[in-house]
Structure 1
Amino acid sequence: MFRLTNYQIKGNIIYRNNNNRYYLKFFFQQYKPHEYRFILTNLFGFKELDIHITKKITKIIDRNGNQYSSIREMTKNNNLFNINIPLQMLPYWFKGIPINPLSYMINHHGLLSNIVYKNRQNIFIIKYDGYSQQDIFKLPNNIKIKYKYNVITFKIYTWILE
């Protein structure tokens, strides 16, 4: 799984907290070992966020063309998601790889079932509710990330492996 560094994922996101619920489509692409692109679009196909992540910088462009260098900076000005998710962990979580977790559990099939991860003072619980067979890999197709009262559910319907 660590060798899987050139792939694309397409799917839906459901974000909910105590007050809001959003439905979005997403496209995630890892095109080099430490370079990613993560695009969120609304149901009409308009971009809400376009996120570029490299080893040295993160660049976020919102639907109005405003640019930010971190999720924290963006959430001060944009209320789409009020969650400071560690973007650098997404590629690992999408592939079902527990990097530096507080704890993790494996299910009876030998696949990752959840991760508890701490970033600064924030605790994230990542739950894997389903896997699909892709070539020789079983890759996650239903992932929930919980943080305080926020839940982001990733329903992955396409994995493109290169």
Structure 2
Amino acid sequence: MRSLLRVTIILLVAVLTGCVQQASDGRYNEAVWRGQRESLEQLQHWQLSGKLAIITAQEKGSARLNWQQQGEDYDLILTTIVGTTLLELHKRDNRVTIIDRDGVQHSGEDSDELVYRLTGWPIPIKQLPVWIKGLPGEATFETGDDGRITRLQQGDWQLSYQDYARTRLWLLPTAINLQGPQTRIKLAINEWQINQ
């Protein structure tokens, strides 16, 4: 009888210790995420290069990607593998200008609509400056055991963050999968440059 009581007490202590450890890990992860989020929100000037692959109901495409962010303004250039410019997108204040592969300039206020009209690709350009850094913006999100964001969802778009790398003081995504309305996008980021 005493041995049964001893085993029961040991099991109870082990279970309670596990619960305390899980609660502690949860608080730790939340603190790590809070620190990561605050750090990323301060990051306003950056540049990245990588590749974009897109699959829609009508076509498949890929491009090299160069993005330079300066506060709220940015320049996004998509090129072919051999370096031919497919599209240049420049945002200044609330105005978006796109220069297509023929050098024709198009302007508007809605970057998503403008890109879709010119390419047929539904890309969430407006949210990307936030999402691409690993921040959720207005989206619902999940974090992993290390406190970094792993998944988010906003409207018709779902993102999964496959990998991160440290660049100076920041942990920044290097592989992101986006799933949207009849669209899949893969972003592979080769290099982050921090300009602040």
Could you say which TM-score interval applies, normalised by the shorter chain? Answer: 0.7 to 0.9
User: Any stretches of 5+ residues in structure 2 without a counterpart?
Assistant: 1-39
Partner of 2:144: 107
Partner of 2:113: 72
Q: Deviations over 1:115-162 (max 9, x none)?
A: 1012xxxx1111111001111211000011111221111100100112
User: Any stretches of 5+ residues in structure 1 without a counterpart?
Assistant: none
Correspondence 1:29-108 to 2 at 5 A: 29-31=68-70, 33-68=71-106, 69=108, 70-76=111-117, 78=118, 80-83=119-122, 85-101=123-139, 103-108=140-145
Instruction: Give SS of 1:153's match.
Output: strand
RMSD: 1.5
TM-score (norm 2): 0.73
1:42–1:134 Cα change, 3 Å: same
Q: Which amino acid aligns with 1:75?
A: Y
Q: Which amino acid aligns with 2:98?
A: I
Partner of 1:151: 184
Partner of 1:3: 42
TM-aligned CA deviation for residue 24 of structure 1: 0.8
TM-aligned CA deviation for residue 18 of structure 1: 3.5
Higher strand share: 1
Q: Which has the larger radius of gyration?
A: 2
Task: Work out the CA distance in 2 between the residues paired with 1:74 and 1:129.
Answer: 26
Higher helix share: 2
